[in-house]
Amino acid sequence: MARKIRIGLAAAACLATALGGSLPLVRLPHRGKGLEGRFHPTYASVHDAATSQARPVPAFLRGSVMYQLFTRMFTPEGTFAAARVKLPSLKADGVDIVYLTPHQLADDDPDPRFWSGRQKACKMNNPKNPYRQKDFFSVDPEYGTKADLQAFVAEAHRLGMKVMFDLVYFHCGPKAVFLAEHPDFIVRNPDGTPKLGDWAFPELDIAKPAVREYLCSNMESFIRDYDVDGFRCDVADMLPVEFWEEGYRRCKALKPDVFMMCEGLKGDDQIEAFDLSYGFYTQWTIVSMLEGKSPASLLEKAWRAHVRDYPRGFHWMRCFENHDFANVNPGQKRKEELFGHELNAAMIATCFLLDGIPMLYNGQEIADASPHSIWSNRDHGKWCIDWSRANDEAAVARRALVRRLARLRHAHPDLFDAPVTWHPVPVPDKAFAFSRPLPDGTTLTLAVNISRETVSLALSGGRTVTLAPHAFDLHEAPSK
């Protein structure tokens, strides 16, 4: 379980040595005020970033494009069957990996004591949060049946795409089915009541071998029953990395090219357990730039902080929209509407051109601005992607951009880990530029103007670009 003990990295390392190499979860404090103060691992690590190395990833990941599909809001029906019909369109857009938000049976307990703050604030009055689960092994009938989910995965595989399931193992719902037989599976207060974690859900007692076995067997069942290809692991750094390493070993024994993505920031995560981690430093920065709160130069600082804080070869998933960041309350607007299609397109291009792999979120490929909420579905709010405007000018332009960027990732898989060379610019508050020199001699250069003014940038090689407000320039110099 997560313990918010504020000690430094050196003290944490000494503590790990005293415990024989195993490190308790030690929450690290912010390094200062403002966004840069958040550029640090969330938990202390045993491994030193300067001397450790992340493990290699499966070859297919290097040239992949990921898509987060939130079943509830992907279609008006909110079902696997309806989503399956649209898989060929995702394939045509260049998507290689479909990350499916939780399909497991959500807890429908209406007691607001066990609702997160955001769940209460949204006013949807939907007790079922996909990230508060009642039964890890069952499919929620809101989305369909086990056979429907199997058919969804099978169709994705037929099209040449891989599917990733979401694992939520830090907490469970208050009415979780295993509690009747195993009340000790959750952490309890001295009076016997459930200890509630950060989101007011009961914390699983991951220290117990029986709990770890239960969860590892859940991972294995998804591979056996659905032939799933990988897992996105919710708030993974709030659980001991040794648990995830054991889960990875067991899944890999069943499917050798299984892959794992960590929602978290800890330097130990990719030594053995994970292939990818959320690039939160750049994600936070992009959102802050969209909001006009940070200069363009902060993106380079965020990228360099990733290099500074994590083992060599650490691999990142790049995005700025996902189910958390797109989550709005009634009357609020999405980033696409707030900041305009042009600036959002520039940030999508940035995610595709940085190292790691890019992820699109539910409808970004058509510049969807419809409100999204974790708690909205066909019975509550009825929010979903507005597919009726898939052929309007903004949607067509966005889809063309996404397909162009996906072709680049497929043609140049070395974008995954090739060097990132940042260019000095005369207006660092308004623009940034970087190049990706590739082993075949090709160089890709991206220049982005986040301001409302036209800017001119002199880049290396004698090339000058003039960028309109919120515009970007993507230049490919082929090998000579």
Residues 304-337: tens digit of each pLDDT: 999 999 999 999 999 999 999 999 999 999 999 9
**Residue 285: closest CA among 271, 270, 295:** 295
Name the residue range of residue 175's domain: 53-419
Tell me how crowded residue 474 is: count the other CB atoms within 10 A of its CB: 17
Euclidean distance between CA atoms 24 and 64, whole angstroms: 34
> Which residues are paired to 135 by β-bridges?
105
> Looking at the structure, do residues 429 and 399 belong to the same domain, yes or no?
no
Higher pLDDT residue, 256 or 1? 256
DSSP conformation class of 130: T
Confidence (pLDDT) at 33: 85
Q: How many helices (H) and strands (E) does the chain have?
A: 13, 16
Burial of 177 (0-12, 13-18, 19+ CB in 10 A): middle
Rg, C-alpha atoms of the chain: 22
Q: Are 54 and 47 in contact (CB under 8 A)?
A: no
Residue 11 belongs to a domain: no
Domain count, the chain: 2
Overall average pLDDT of the 136-156 stretch: 98
> Looking at the structure, do residues 444 and 301 belong to the same domain, yes or no?
no
> Looking at the structure, do residues 426 and 395 belong to the same domain, yes or no?
no
Residue 4 belongs to a domain: no
Euclidean distance between CA atoms 389 and 395, whole angstroms: 7
Q: Which of 399, 419, 439 is the last residue of a domain?
A: 419
Whether the predicted pLDDT of 6 surpasses 70: no
> Which residues are paired to 165 by β-bridges?
231
Q: Which two tokens stand for residue 53?
A: 């190395």
Whether the predicted pLDDT of 15 surpasses 50: no
129: CATH: 3.20.20.80
Whether the predicted pLDDT of 174 surpasses 70: yes
Strands 97-100 and 464-467: unpaired
| Distance separating the N- and C-terminal Cα atoms of the chain | 55
CA angle 452/456/460 to nearest 5° reads: 135
Q: Which of 15-24, 334-343, 385-394, 419-428 has the lowest mean pLDDT?
A: 15-24
440: CATH: 2.60.40
Helical spans, DSSP H, in 320-439: 335-339, 341-353, 393-411
User: What is the per-residue pLDDT across 95-130, written as a single tens digit (0 to 9) for each?
Assistant: 999 999 999 999 999 999 999 999 999 999 999 999
Tell me how crowded residue 456 is: count the other CB atoms within 10 A of its CB: 13
> Looking at the structure, do residues 377 and 430 belong to the same domain, yes or no?
no
Overall average pLDDT of the 259-263 stretch: 98
Confidence (pLDDT) at 480: 66
Task: Please tell me whether residue 15 adopts helix, strand or coil conformation.
Answer: helix
User: What is the per-residue pLDDT across 406-433, written as a single tens digit (0 to 9) for each?
Assistant: 999 999 999 999 999 999 999 999 999 9
Overall average pLDDT of the 53-82 stretch: 97
> Looking at the structure, do residues 104 and 141 belong to the same domain, yes or no?
yes
Instruction: Give the pLDDT band (50/70/90) at residue 452.
Output: very high
